Chains A and B, each alone.
Chain A
Amino acid sequence: MRISLLGGFHLEDEGATLILPEGSRRLLAFLALKGRLVQRQAVAGTLWPVSTEPHASSSLRSALTRLRGDARRSVAATALELGLSDDVSVDLWDAQTLARRLLSPTEIPGGAEPGAEAIPALAADLLPDWYDEWALVEAEDWRQLRLHALEALADRLTARERFGDAAAAALAAVRAEPLRESPRAALIRVHIAEGNPTEALREFARYGELLTLELGVEPTERLRGLVTQLWPVTPG
């Protein structure tokens, strides 16, 4: 059984999608984000914060009851605690492991070097359009992790001269945070390494225009330093 949280909530068992009511979806998403056993009272209080304690407990029992059929196997329950069953996998956990591997300063032990196949997971937001506080905080945490991981992936792919994939990784980071400079720098480095100074200058100009329009500031000297040496390449 697999829970997907990236790009939206999805529950699948042996290839079949399981449809759940909203309360049950929220419960599974919360347990997936926690990744451990949680006191029932804490689950109820977090998922139904504006309810009285008895009402929140009732809502939790209802959410558990509505996990029917195969979905019921996704939760491990004791009298006091709830958690995901051991045989449930979560896409976010795999993506977090991947992101941390990419950000590790040492060589990646075992396994293959991540490539372009890592981009879709790193490009996806956690539970987009969910506005529960517990989901928003986790979503921001994932956002920061994945942005840095995409930049690191772009640099690794550039070093391996896989420029198309490197550009795709950098562009995914740029799309997620268009005003941040570090993804732009990663993209410009790809263009420079590939021997496309015109593209590098064009990207620098685009970013400069955006900063001027949105914030009234210019790119940093550090970014400018990446392209300064390229200026003689272009006419005028």
Chain B
Amino acid sequence: MLDTAGTALLTIRAWCEEGSPRPLRIQIRIADDVSAGFGSTMSFVDEAGAIEAVHGFLVGVRCRPTAGEPVTPVSRLGHGGSA
């Protein structure tokens, strides 16, 4: 669970393995909080698996509530668009 000083991080590395019938390679690394470093690494050969992993990451991020307030997932805070 993240407090205001925490940051969850996901990186996606993608490349093509020439000559393979399924050439796409996707590697995803996840840090639930960067202060603890990357905790898991997942690899995929298709977009669907990677997209599911990204979705799972976002749904799983929870912000530490202030007193009396319910837990708010980052994905529902309404922050849209990118900088």
Interface residues of A (CB under 8 A from B): 129, 131, 136, 140, 179-181, 214-217, 220-223
Task: Name the residue among B9, B13, B19 with the largest chain A CB count within 10 angstroms.
Answer: B19
Task: Please measure, in the bound complex, the distance between the C-alpha atom of A106 and the C-alpha atom of B63, giving whole angstroms.
Answer: 55
Known contacts A131-B9, A179-B27; A220 and B18 CB within 8 A of each other: yes
Q: Is B44 an interface residue (CB 8 A)?
A: yes
**Chain B 8-30, CB within 8 Å of chain A: the 1/0 string?**
01010101011111100101000
In addition to A129-B37, A220-B18, A222-B18, 17 A-B residue pairs with Cβ atoms within 8 Å of each other are A131-B9, A131-B34, A136-B11, A140-B13, A179-B43, A180-B15, A180-B25, A181-B19, A214-B43, A215-B43, A215-B44, A215-B45, A216-B45, A217-B21, A220-B20, A222-B19, A223-B19
> Pick the contact of A181 from B11, B17, B45 — CB < 8 Å?
B17
Chain B residues within an 8 Å CB radius of A216: 45
7 smallest CB-CB distances across A and B, nearest first, come from A220-B19, A131-B34, A222-B19, A220-B20, A215-B45, A214-B43, A217-B22
- Residues 69-80 of B, flagged 1 when their CB comes within 8 A of A and 0 if not, give 000000000000
Shortest CB–CB separation between residue B3 and chain A, in angstroms? Answer: 15
| Chain A residues positioned under 8 Å from B34 (CB to CB) | 131
What are some 11 contacts across the A-B interface (CB < 8 A)? A129-B37, A131-B7, A179-B25, A179-B43, A180-B17, A180-B25, A215-B25, A215-B43, A217-B20, A220-B18, A221-B19
The interface on chain B, measured as residues whose beta carbon lies within 8 A of the other chain's beta carbons, has a size of: 19
Interface residues of chain B, those whose CB is within 8 Å of chain A, are 7, 9, 11, 13, 15, 17-22, 25, 27, 31, 34, 37, 43-45
Which of B13, B20, B27 has its CB near the most chain A CB atoms (within 10 A)?
A: B20
- Bound-state CA distance A215–B41 (Å) is 13
Q: Which residues of A contact B31 (CB under 8 A)?
A: 131
Collect the chain A residues with CB atoms within 8 Å of residue B22's CB: 217
Residues on B with C-beta less than 8 A from A222 are 18-19
Residues of B within 8 A of A129 (CB): 37
- Closest residue to B26 on the A side, CB-wise? A215
A221, B18: Cα distance in complex, Å: 10
Cα A215 to Cα B22 with chains together (Å):
10
Chain A residues contacting B17 (CB-CB under 8 Å) are 180-181, 220
Q: Which residues of B contact A220 (CB under 8 A)?
A: 17-20
